[in-house]
């Protein structure tokens, strides 16, 4: 294994963390949109 090369497990872990971050971002955006529509 070359230096700087990630194992599959590490890649999966990073991928899951990124997906979770994206999910949180999406939920925040959805909440903001709902609040805007409620005000109108």
- Compute the chain's Rg from CA coordinates: 17
- Could you tell me the residue range of the domain that residue 1 belongs to? 1-40
Q: Give, in degrees to the nearest 5, the angle at Cα 23 between 8 and 16.
A: 10
- Note the pLDDT of residue 1: 52
pLDDT score of 39 more than 80: yes
Q: Report the domain count for the chain.
A: 1
**Residues 6 or more apart in contact with residue 1 via CB below 8 angstroms:** 7
- Note the pLDDT of residue 40: 73
- Note the pLDDT of residue 21: 98
């Amino acid at each position: 294994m070359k230096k700087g090369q990630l194992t599959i497990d590490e890649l999966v872990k990073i991928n899951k963390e990124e997906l979770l971050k994206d999910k949180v971002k999406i939920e925040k955006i959805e909440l903001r949109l709902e609040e805007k529509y409620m005000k109108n």
